[in-house]
Structure 1
Amino acid sequence: MPTVGALVSPFIDAAIMGLALIAFTRLSGLRSFSKMSGYDFAITVAMGSVLASVVVSKSTGPLAGIAALAALFVVQAGLSHLRVRSRDAQDAMDNAPLLIMQGREVLEDNLSAAKMTRADLMGKLREANVTHLDQVRAVVFEQTGDVSVLHGPAGGGLEDDLLDGVRDAV
């Protein structure tokens, strides 16, 4: 039978780790849990893994967890700084957004490259409240994996700047 201390310890560890996570997030800013790129997602998952390890493991204490979280925040800050300062680093870390639909035309090769089906695409159009394909200006598979649907009244245009940096945009 577990002792009371053994039952209470995970709660204390979770509280300590939660406070550390909040403190590090406040120090580093909102980007800590953003979904701007693949590395942001990977760091966020790693942070959750560290937190869970400390809470469920009897051998990993909160100090080791805090050190691991600090390391992840420092790595993320360093990579973010590098990404902002160097176009090569940005290109290496980020996927370029991909145009998957231009007006009514579905770009089949790009849809396939995004690992999306027509059913996925139609679902995203419905989520964006598109009621007629004539409303679609462009659909972009973003670097985060999200899908952006740019739409408006039939016959309307689209500012070129909105597709700046999007692969295969003309």
Structure 2
Amino acid sequence: MDNIFVTNLDSIVRIVVIVPVIYVLVILYIRVIGKRSTSQMNNFDWIVTVAMGSLVASTIILKDVAIVDGALGILLLMVLQYLLTKVMLYSATIRKIVKSTPQLLLYEGEFLPDNMKRERILESEILASIRESGLKNKNQVYAVILETDASFSVIPKENDDEVCFSLADVEGLPSGLKEELKSKGEAA
């Protein structure tokens, strides 16, 4: 059986040299490519982050992976993510393929079971998000939305009759509301 607690001096020196170099390179890449790489994550951001973590770990631990190979792999992942986000700005089709849309889970104090089932969200999770927002019960809520980064947005009811235009890009709206939001947006 190999030594699982003790390693040789070469491995220790290799790790001590590689970790700071990769660390500095990742910081440099993020500064050049942008904050998106470290923001709250939607699905494709998460995939890039996990893959990048794997590349960092492989470069540090595996003797077969040269520092240049690991650094190039990390850079390519971040450049691809950057390019994809640029393409998404101009292509609704690519945006639709890559990025999920927000989903309405509760509307005017009422749960939307079909939307919740589609997103595999429990009532208790929605109630927790309502509590986190400082509200006492679901009847104080205009809408709860599952955002693209898997966080919940809770919009409290207000005393005015304004339509909540921030729901314009949300899926699963009650019939007629999407058209009302669209017409209010065009009137503004």
TM-score (norm 1): 0.91
CA RMSD of aligned residues (A): 1.6
User: Which fold has the larger relative contact order, with Cα–Cα distance below 8 Å and residues 6 or more apart in sequence?
Assistant: 1
Runs of 5+ unmatched residues, structure 1: none
Letter in 2 for 1:146: S
Indicate the SS of the match to 2:143.
Answer: strand
Number of the residue aligned with 1:108:
113
| Distance change in 2, residues 1:6/1:63 (3 Å) | same
Q: Which moved more, 1:160-169 or 1:32-41?
A: 32-41
Which residue of structure 2 lines up, in the alignment, with residue 43 of structure 1?
A: 48
Write the distance in 1 (CA, Å) between the matches of 2:26 and 2:162.
41
Structure 2's unaligned 5+ residue stretches are 1-5, 178-188
Indicate whether 1:25 and 2:30 are aligned.
yes
Paired residue total: 169
Q: Report % sequence identity.
A: 24
Specify which of 56, 64, 69 is matched with residue 61 of structure 2: 56
Distance in structure 2 (CA, Å) of the matches to 1:135 and 1:156:
13
- Tell me how far 1:151 sits from its aligned partner: 1.3
Whole-Å separation in 1 of the counterparts to 2:82 and 2:146? 26
Letter in 1 for 2:103: L
Q: In the alignment, what sits opposite 1:120?
A: 125
Equivalence for 2:165: 161
Cα distance, 1:5 vs structure 2: 2.9
Q: Which residue of 2 aligns with 1:144?
A: 149
Opposite residue 119 of structure 1, the aligned amino acid is S
Q: Paired residue for 1:84, among 85, 89, 114? A: 89
**Offset at residue 50 of structure 1 (A):** 0.6
Distance in 1 separating the partners of 2:7 and 2:122: 51
Q: Which amino acid aligns with 1:66?
A: A
Residues 7-16 or 48-57, more deviating = 7-16
